[in-house]
Amino acid sequence: MEPISQGVTISGSGKDDLYLTGNGGFLLCPTPTGKIFTREQLNAEQLEMGKMVKNFIESKVLTKKKEIEYKQVEIDGMPLCVKLLKELGNLGALGVDVPETYGGLGMDLTTTMHVAENLGPAGGSFTTTAIVQMGIGALPILFFGTPEQKAQYLPKLVSAEWVACYALTEAGSGSDALSGKTTAVLDGDFYTLNGNKQFISNGDWADLAIVFARIDDQYSALIVELNSPGVSRGLEEEKMGIQGSSTTALMFDNVKVPRKNLLGKAGDAATIALNILNMGRLELGFACIGATRKVIQHTLEYTKQRKQFGRPICEFDMQTGRLAEMVTRLFAVDSILYRIIHAIDDKIAMLPKDDQYWDNMVKVIRSHAMEASVAKVEGSEMVFQISSDAVKMHGGYGYISDYHVEQALRDSVINMIYEGTNDINRLVIFDFLVRSIYNQNIPFAAFSEEVDASWRKGIFSFPDNSPILHEERKSLYAGKYLLNFLVNETIMRFGKDIKNNQQVMRHISDMILPLYAADSAIARAYTLIEKEHSEAKIAKAMAELCLAQALATTQTLAWQLMAEIYEGKPKAAGYGKLTWLCSFMKSNHNPMRLKREIGRTVVEKGLKILSL
């Protein structure tokens, strides 16, 4: 099996920096204290970029939301969405991570993702258009293109002089993304491209496509200029949401593509497609943060002014609790996302700027593939769940199109489908963890020994004395013991046969998701408490609530998992170990009291708490 973090060294020998390694390393160490990057640490330049995009979205995009949605308006002979994309390109926001030589700003990925976050509130249509342009449209060329390809195409994509799209999916090839049937046959200096692509975002508007096609049965990627003879586009799909975005089929009938437009080598499709998806998943996760914040903002305002039974809706205990759940989830997912992207940036900053720079950058990002899938699933399910709750909290008005939340809910669904469905991402999370274990990218075996030794001695000790959130970090560490135990039991019980037991894989992934959320929320709250931040109290309450939910979820899933692993063995010894481990996974907090405290604070202070 190919090592998944080639070229990326896991530094250090102890647990201290495991939370930084990617590959699921966070599962093997106590919650990092005072070390992870959080949004509070964004610098002035990064904040300035975010503010510029926010202002653009508020003044230019949200004011034209309906026109964008119904695709009724054309300006200067182009759809409004495209016109606005070009304006955003002129501001530099579409090439934040592209080197200045190619027309970009040459900034880090954290800044790029902060821009993606600020695109999120635009509504799904414009966000999709822009994220495809700056992400899966341009990044294949940035990461895998030759210097000539970069010089030829990147400046045009960064300015949005040309619109880009990414054509991987085919009618018979969706989740099984590398099984496409499109072909490219080399004849002299040209490939002849034949085949059809399905559901391509920006499809009707794009000037350039990254097209995946088979060259002598080697799946490959080509840069295709869409004004070439033989290219045609299907009708716009009528969709549940993101109705103002373009989604069409692309048809290629004997299209001549210059040989020099091959990306990488013949057969590189898997490397290109899967690595670009990692970045796409992170960008999507960040956009979901921005979209969620807007939904909560609307819900907060609405429930403060709408009265029933003589009281504002937000004051009813159930709704106060819902508001608390919303902001707590946003706090946790936000903490996950900034933590991951900055860990990636830190590693990229250490790479030598030599010929291997882009290859090494891809490897660094790939070493966080599991975390990228966590980010995608957490972000997309957060915005869907919160939009759904927001509609309910608006009552009948939530069902009416004039209110933001109606469209937000419809727009949120697609996030769970593209960039790999969330179910596929759950399989990816499990798969990457197991690969990391087998390839020894993380010291999983050493951690297993620690768990076993602890069980044999009957002592569970937590290797950290700091009093800040001590009990919480200890309980969460027991949760990581539990996961370690269950992963080992799963591997022993099923071995390679695990591929036939996806429900088990899903359960493991569904345990990893809340563990990572709680780990990130607690790590962030720790830092804020240590620094005596003005919002430390509310951050602590949110971390405690997040932990209580994570402990409850993981224990429920653990018992279900054991029933499958020990099917027919009701007296298996593992049940004793499970009971023992669960006895340390205690939350001393009353979640309802926490929700009241958080909900009331949010009603009083608004979302400016913790820059949410």
Q: Which residues bind ligand FAD (CB under 6 A)?
A: 132, 165-169, 174-175, 199-201, 239, 247, 414, 417-418, 420-421, 423-424, 502
208 - beta bridge partners? 164, 225
Distance of CA 138 to the CA centre of its chain: 18
Least distance to ligand FAD, CB of residue 224, Å: 13
**Closer of 171 and 400 to ligand FAD (Cβ):** 171
SS3 assignment for 178-210: HHCCCEEEEECCEEEEEEEEEEEECCCCCCEEE
**Closer of 420 and 591 to ligand FAD (Cβ):** 420
Say if residues 387 and 41 touch (Cβ distance below 8 Å): no
**Closer of 502 and 588 to ligand FAD (Cβ):** 502
Q: For residue 88, which phi and psi values (nearest 5 degrees)?
A: -65, -40
Least distance to ligand FAD, CB of residue 119, Å: 16
CA distance 479 to 549: 12
Between strands 208-215 and 164-167, the pairing is parallel
**Closer of 133 and 520 to ligand FAD (Cβ):** 133
Tell me the residue number closest to ligand FAD, measured at CB.
Answer: 174
**Closer of 277 and 523 to ligand FAD (Cβ):** 277
Between strands 74-75 and 190-201, the pairing is unpaired
183 - beta bridge partners? 194, 214
**Closer of 49 and 242 to ligand FAD (Cβ):** 242
**C-alpha distances out from residue 359 to 8, 144, 275, 285, 348, Å:** 11, 8, 11, 24, 11
Helix axes 109-119, 44-56, angle to 10 degrees: 30
**Closer of 418 and 444 to ligand FAD (Cβ):** 418
Say if residues 472 and 583 touch (Cβ distance below 8 Å): no
- Give the contacts of 57 (CB within 8 A, at least 6 positions apart): 118, 119, 121, 122, 126
Least distance to ligand FAD, CB of residue 275, Å: 15
Q: Quick one: CA dihedral 397, 402, 408, 409, positive or negative?
A: positive
Angle (CA) 335-337-339 rounded to 5° is 65
**Closer of 231 and 393 to ligand FAD (Cβ):** 231
Say if residues 280 and 135 touch (Cβ distance below 8 Å): yes
CA distance 337 to 289: 9
**Closer of 250 and 515 to ligand FAD (Cβ):** 250
DSSP label at 173? B
**C-alpha distances out from residue 69 to 122, 235, 239, 244, Å:** 11, 17, 11, 4
173 - beta bridge partners? 170
Q: For residue 130, which phi and psi values (nearest 5 degrees)?
A: -75, -40
Longest dimension (CA), the chain: 79
Buried b (16+ CB within 10 A) or exposed e, 159-171: bbebbbbbbbbbe
Structural Rg of the chain based on CA atoms: 24
Which of 189, 198, 37, 32 minimizes the C-alpha distance to 110? 37
Query: How many CB atoms lie under 10 A from the CB of residue 174?
Result: 18
Least distance to ligand FAD, CB of residue 428, Å: 11
CA distance 221 to 141: 10
Tokens of 475: 């309980």
Which of 267, 255, 96 minimizes the C-alpha distance to 191? 255
- For residue 483, the SS3 value is helix
Is there a catalytic annotation at residue 148? no
Least distance to ligand FAD, CB of residue 475, Å: 32
**Closer of 240 and 592 to ligand FAD (Cβ):** 240
308 - beta bridge partners? 311
Listed in sequence order, the DSSP H helices in 163-315 are: 269-305
Distance of CA 385 to the CA centre of its chain: 15
Least distance to ligand FAD, CB of residue 93, Å: 20
Least distance to ligand FAD, CB of residue 404, Å: 20
Q: Residue 538 corresponds to which amino acid?
A: I
Q: Which of 419, 472, 535, 597 is catalytic?
A: 419
Distance of CA 63 to the CA centre of its chain: 28
Least distance to ligand FAD, CB of residue 200, Å: 5
**Closer of 370 and 377 to ligand FAD (Cβ):** 377
**Closer of 284 and 330 to ligand FAD (Cβ):** 284
Catalytically active residues are: 419
